[in-house]
């Protein structure tokens, strides 16, 4: 044996002595440690395949590209607040960690965050819900209801501390201060906002049903001021959309600014670009209403005058023709006169004239009576409308001993003593005059 051969043989023996044999569990455990440490946080892009939701709130699927596939899972899927719906064929970008499952000797990606590729998650969620609700008919034109012309009671679902409610109240007071407004304050953004808005819409519907038919809420404004897409997102939630669709009260959606569109806008009976415009849509100006009533009154009076003038002109023409006929008769020859005299005796034109005059006068009286009756009906309807408007005036309520208290700082209506602070100034409006007070003590009677 040569020296080189001996060294080679000796090396083989050393290798054999140093060889380590792993069990399946050992090698799998080592792989688990290496992979989970190396890929504790990794972004992976792929297309969804074999989507499998489970009853235990987990979501299992496969990520694939042109060359490979990777099992993936989102544990506690319903708690992740993922806005869009994960579907087969959707391309995702996932943040997660590699997890090895030793009993099967396989590995998967445990996803913690996920977003759609090429489009924001909120935008995708909006498009998915829009397509779903449109397919169900929630946006259909035949579902839209007309707004009442002059509602006596208006409901508002929004934040009582936001700018939207102030804009609405200011616009309504400027246009028609006698209207009755019911405000249901809700949270308009953040966790719990969608549930609160939904409950607010349902509460106003339920409250309205407890009232007499002529005292119910006739129209409802639902909305808030402007903000980012995230701020307005509560009005893109399915639960809010369905509550608007199921409302028995017609709904005006007034969310954000003119450039902002939400699912609520598409479902509502009318979409207003801003809360202020919503107030303008729901009720006309008192001055415009008075001008319209005055115009109708003038039109009726003019129509009566025209009818009376036309009958007078027709009567005048008829009498003139009868006079001409009489003159023509006297110009006839004496021979013809005898024959005509006989005919006149039979026809008795004087009697005919009297008959025609009587008929014309009767017709004129009937027209006058009917026109006068129509004017009285319109006048009664107008007086009723004016009385209704007057009865809705807050001043009439104040005359019965009630009062309204406002915060001097921001003009907000005070509904609960706990909303005030010691040292704060308040203004109490009475039937006649106002009282400015300073809070020295607050007691909660509840």
Return the domain boundaries, the chain.
20-118, 127-284, 288-392, 398-438
139 — pLDDT class (breaks 50, 70, 90): very high
Q: What is the pLDDT of residue 200?
A: 96
Which of 153-162, 275-284, 376-385 has the largest mean confidence? 153-162
Whose CA is closest to 251, among 350, 408, 260, 262? 262
Q: What is the pLDDT of residue 314?
A: 79
Q: What is the pLDDT of residue 304?
A: 66
Q: What is the pLDDT of residue 340?
A: 63
438 — pLDDT class (breaks 50, 70, 90): very high
Can you state the angle between helices 238-245 and 193-209, rounded to 10 degrees? Answer: 10
pLDDT 10s digits, 315-338? 778 777 777 766 665 565 556 666
Number of H helices, E strands in the chain: 12, 13
Secondary structure of the chain: what % helix, strand, coil (to 5)? Answer: 50, 20, 30
Q: What number of residues does the chain have?
A: 446
User: How far is residue 144's CA from residue 245's CA, in Å, rounded to a whole number?
Assistant: 9
Q: What is the pLDDT of residue 219?
A: 95
Between 393 and 370, whose confidence is greater? 370
Q: What is the pLDDT of residue 294?
A: 63
CATH class for domain 20-118? mainly beta
203 — pLDDT class (breaks 50, 70, 90): very high
Nearest 5°: phi and psi at 108?
Answer: -150, 165
pLDDT above 50 for 9: no
* DSSP letters for 282-308: HS--HHHHHHHHHHHHHHHHHHHHHHH
pLDDT 10s digits, 142-155? 999 999 888 889 99
Q: What is the pLDDT of residue 415?
A: 86
Between 54 and 187, whose confidence is greater? 187
Between 119 and 282, whose confidence is greater? 282
Work out whether the CA dihedral 34, 38, 39, 43 comes out positive or negative. negative
- pTM here is 0.49
**Mean pLDDT, residues 432-441 taken together:** 89
Of 61-70, 143-152, 228-237, 297-306, the range with the lowest mean pLDDT is: 297-306
Residue 147: DSSP 8-state = P
**Mean pLDDT, residues 118-146 taken together:** 85
Specify the CATH number of the domain 127-284: 3.40.50.261
**Mean pLDDT, residues 101-121 taken together:** 84
Q: What is the pLDDT of residue 1?
A: 46
pLDDT above 90 for 367: no
Of 115-119, 202-206, 415-419, 425-429, the range with the lowest mean pLDDT is: 115-119
pLDDT above 90 for 249: yes
What lies within 8 Å, CB to CB, of 269 at 6+ separation is 143, 144, 145, 146, 147, 250, 251, 252
pLDDT above 60 for 363: yes
pLDDT above 50 for 433: yes
Q: What is the pLDDT of residue 387?
A: 73
């Amino acid at each position: 044996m040569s020296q080189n051969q001996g060294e080679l043989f000796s090396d083989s023996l050393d290798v054999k002595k140093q060889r380590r044999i792993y069990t399946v569990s050992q090698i799998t455990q080592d792989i688990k440690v290496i992979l989970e440490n190396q890929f504790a946080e990794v972004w992976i892009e792929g297309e969804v395949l074999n989507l499998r939701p489970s009853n235990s709130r987990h979501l299992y699927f496969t990520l694939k590209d042109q060359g490979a596939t990777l099992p993936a899972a989102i544990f506690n899927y319903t708690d992740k607040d993922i806005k869009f719906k994960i579907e087969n064929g959707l391309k995702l970008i996932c943040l997660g960690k590699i997890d090895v499952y030793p009993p099967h000797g396989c590995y998967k990606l445990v996803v913690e965050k996920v977003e759609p590729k090429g489009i924001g998650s909120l935008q995708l969620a909006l498009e998915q819900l829009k397509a779903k609700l449109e397919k169900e008919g929630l946006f259909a034109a035949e579902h839209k209801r007309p707004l009442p012309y002059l509602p006596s009671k208006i409901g508002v679902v929004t934040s009582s501390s936001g700018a939207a409610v102030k804009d609405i109240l200011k616009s309504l007071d400027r246009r028609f201060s006698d209207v009755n407004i019911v405000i249901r304050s809700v949270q308009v953004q953040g966790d719990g906002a969608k549930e609160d808005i939904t409950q607010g819409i349902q509460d106003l519907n339920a409250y309205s049903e407890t009232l007499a038919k002529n005292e119910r809420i006739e129209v409802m404004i639902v909305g808030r001021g402007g903000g980012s897409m995230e701020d307005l997102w509560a009005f893109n939630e399915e639960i809010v959309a369905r509550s608007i669709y199921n409302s028995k009260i017609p709904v005006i959606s007034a969310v954000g600014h003119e450039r902002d569109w939400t699912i609520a806008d598409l479902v509502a009976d009318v979409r207003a670009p801003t809360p202020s415009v919503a107030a303008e849509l729901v009720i006309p100006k008192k001055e415009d209403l008075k001008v319209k009533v005055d115009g109708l009154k003038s039109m009726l009076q003019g129509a009566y005058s025209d009818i009376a003038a036309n009958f007078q002109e027709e009567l005048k023409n008829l009498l003139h023709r009868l006079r001409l006929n009489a003159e023509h008769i006297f110009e006839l020859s004496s021979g013809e006169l005898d024959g005509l005299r006989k005919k006149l005796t039979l026809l008795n034109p004087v009697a005919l004239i009297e008959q025609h005059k009587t008929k014309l006068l009767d017709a004129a009286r009937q027209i006058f009576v009917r026109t006068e009756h129509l004017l009285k009906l319109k006048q009664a309807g107008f007086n009723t409308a004016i009385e209704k408007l007057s009865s809705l005036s807050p001043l009439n309520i104040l005359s019965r001993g009630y009062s309204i208290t406002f915060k001097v700082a921001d003009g907000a209506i005070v509904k609960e003593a706990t909303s005030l602070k010691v040292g704060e100034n308040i203004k109490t409006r009475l039937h006649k005059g106002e009282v400015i007070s300073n809070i020295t003590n607050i007691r909660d009677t509840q």
